[in-house]
Amino acid sequence: MKFSPLLGELISALTCLPGVGNKSAQRMAFHLLERNRDGAMKLGTVLHNAMEHIQHCQQCRTFTEDEVCEICRSPKRQEAGVLCIVESPQDVLAIEQTLSFGGTYFVLMGHLSPIDGIGPADIGLTELETRLKQEPVSEVILATNPTVEGEATAHYIAQMCNSLDITASRIAHGVPVGGELEYIDGSTLTHAFSGRRKL
Amino acid sequence: MKFSPLLGELISALTCLPGVGNKSAQRMAFHLLERNRDGAMKLGTVLHNAMEHIQHCQQCRTFTEDEVCEICRSPKRQEAGVLCIVESPQDVLAIEQTLSFGGTYFVLMGHLSPIDGIGPADIGLTELETRLKQEPVSEVILATNPTVEGEATAHYIAQMCNSLDITASRIAHGVPVGGELEYIDGSTLTHAFSGRRKL
């Protein structure tokens, strides 16, 4: 027996979610049909709305349904003159949750990766350059991931900043708070030593 | 920072899926926005369609968008005169995949559970009784789960069948094929011994 056509369609549509295979999709479909039809209807409506209206912020490229996102609109944040470069909107959220950064962001939506054909234009570096030339940015904080591609991207942007006479800084690499030296990998420890600070 | 309102709404709507908490919902939302907007739009449409049109089959209570499901419509299956009682539509699927059963089904959509206030009427036993009186059913196979509630439900239906002079049989409990005796629990082994067959 196959499922009834519409049920089969629902199950296969649910597999578009990341980490959801055929078996989980079946479980989800039956759960929604048996216990949460209202929630499923709402999800359907919100999915439509979100996919239609959520676009990239024209200034920082994060996801928003407005033309310019809330952070970019805040005059207080623009006055700070500090621009933080991150790879994804999730990174913005992680940094915002610390409450320790009061500047604006620029979201690359990826990183330089020549092997996948992703060059500077694909991660918005043309827009970034225009922005750095127009806005009174005093410092650029490079908060890309500490991976090979993230480091390469940070270096590329740092050179761009240098040529425009803007200070570029990289977030510190080192031992995470609460970590134990015994279990930290060698590369991180090396970074922690070379980045040591006077007390 | 909170997410933009619509993004927040999307994330909270996604948590209606079973096994999806806030963090997984975030991951799903960003994945759909970044990589699969078409899939998400399709999912939205299918969710609406499915929740509106998928109902219970009027005869066997499984999920279907038709009034009567494909299995119940098949004259060949009705002629077999064997009715299999299961707890959920997923069980129908599991049995159909074995290709070893050629009769019709009745889906309880649950099991008797007085402690949760689920009585005979809630699992469709009134409809089942009417059906057993009207249709020429020669045997009822009780394929509820081998749990306390499943066994109780099976017993209840068996008594109903007896009072209507219809043979009721219970699927066999025993050692699963491919299993090793060493690792089988005592209760299953006891069932396997008491249900032994002459070779």
pLDDT digits (tens, 9 = 90+) for A82-138: 999 999 999 998 899 889 899 999 999 999 999 999 999 999 999 999 999 998 899
The pLDDT of residue A1 is above 60? no
Question: Chain B contact for A18, CB < 8 A?
Answer: yes
- Regarding whether B33 and B77 lie in a shared domain, the answer is no
Q: Does A99 reach chain B within 8 Å, measured CB to CB?
A: no
Quick check: A47 and B41 CB within 8 A?
Answer: yes
Q: Residue A49 is part of a domain; what is its CATH number? A: 1.10.8.420
pLDDT in tens, A20-53: 999 999 999 999 999 899 999 999 999 999 999 9
Q: Is A177 contained in some domain? A: no
**Alpha-carbon span A105 to B128, nearest angstrom:** 64
Q: Which domain holds residue A88?
A: 59-170
Instruction: Let me know whether B80 and B25 are in one domain.
Output: no
Mean local confidence (pLDDT), B11-24: 94
**Cα→Cα distances B86→A9, A19, A116, A159, B56, Å:** 24, 30, 51, 68, 14
Q: What pLDDT, on the 0 to 100 scale, is given for residue B182?
A: 87
CB within 8 Å of chain B, chain A residues 39-58: 39-51, 53-54
Q: What is the C-alpha to C-alpha distance for residues A190 and A195, in angstroms, rounded to an integer?
A: 8
Residue closest to B124 by CA, chosen among B83, B173, B82, B93: B83
Q: What percent of chain B has pLDDT over 90?
A: 75
A86 close to A107: Cβ distance less than 8 angstroms: yes
Residue that is last in its domain, among A18, A38, A53: A53
In a domain, B196, yes or no: no
Are A48 and B44 a contacting pair at CB < 8 A? yes
Q: Are residues A23 and A80 in the same domain?
A: no
Burial class (CB in 10 A: 0-12, 13-18, 19+), B118: middle
Are B63 and B54 in contact by the 8 Å Cβ rule? The answer is yes
In B, residues 60-89, which contact A (CB 8 Å cutoff)?
63-66, 69-71, 88-89
**Total tally of structural domains belonging to chain B:** 2
Residue A47 sits in the same domain as residue A118 = no
Q: Do A16 and B33 touch (CB under 8 A)?
A: no
In this structure, the answer to whether residues A63 and A26 fall within a common structural domain is no
Q: Are residues A78 and A144 in the same domain?
A: yes
Give the pLDDT of residue A63: 93
Using the 3D structure, point to which of A53, A69, A92 is the last residue of a domain.
Answer: A53
User: Is A85 in the same domain as A163?
Assistant: yes
Mean of pLDDT over chain B:
92
Q: How many CA atoms, within 13 angstroms, populate the side-chain half-sphere of residue A58?
A: 4
For residue A150, CA distances in Å to A130, A156, A168 come to 22, 10, 15
What is the C-alpha to C-alpha distance for residues A185 and A191, in angstroms, rounded to an integer? Answer: 10
Distance (Å, whole) CA B96 – CA B84: 11
Please report whether residue B193 resides in a domain: no
> Cα–Cα distance between A53 and A65 in angstroms, integer?
5
User: Looking at the structure, do residues A10 and A69 belong to the same domain, yes or no?
Assistant: no
Q: Which amino acid is at B110?
A: G
Residue among A7, A16, A88 whose CB faces B50 most closely: A7
User: Domain check: are A37 and A104 in the same one?
Assistant: no
d(CA A36, CA A43): 11
Nearest CB among A1, A24, A43 relative to B16 is that of: A43
User: Under the phi-then-psi rule, with left for phi > 0, alpha for psi from -120 to 50, and beta for the rest, what region is A69?
Assistant: beta
Note the pLDDT of residue A171. 92
Chain B nearest C-alpha distance from A118 (Å): 15
Contact A109, A61 (CB under 8 A): yes
Residue-wise pLDDT tens digits, B113-144: 999 999 999 999 999 999 999 988 999 999 99
Asked if residue B180 is part of any domain, the answer here is no
The beta-carbon neighbor of B1 closest among A28, A36, A93 is A93
- Closest-CA distance, B102 to chain A, in angstroms, reads 11
Within a domain: A98: yes
Report B:123-182 residues touching A (Cβ under 8 A).
none
Mean local confidence (pLDDT), B73-83: 91
Strand duo A55-56 + B55-56: pairing: unpaired
Stretch (H or E) spanning B119: none
Report the candidate in A82, A107, A90, A89 with the shortest Cα–Cα distance to residue A169. A82
- What does pLDDT average to over chain A? 92
The CATH number of whichever domain residue B126 belongs to comes to 3.40.1360.10
Question: Does the pLDDT value for residue B1 go beyond 80?
Answer: no
Q: Is B92 part of any domain?
A: yes
* Domain assignment of residue A111, yes or no: yes
Residue B82 and residue B34 share a domain: no
Determine the average pLDDT of the residues in A65-81: 91
Domain annotation covers residue A178: no
Nearest in space to A11 (alpha carbons), one of B84, B35, B24, B93:
B93
Q: What is the mean pLDDT of residues A172-194?
A: 88
Are residues B131 and B85 located together in one domain of the fold? yes
- The verdict on a CB contact (< 8 Å) between B10 and A97 is no
Residues A77 and A126 grouped into a single domain:
yes
| A21 min Cα distance to partner chain B (Å) | 13
d(CA B16, CA B37): 20
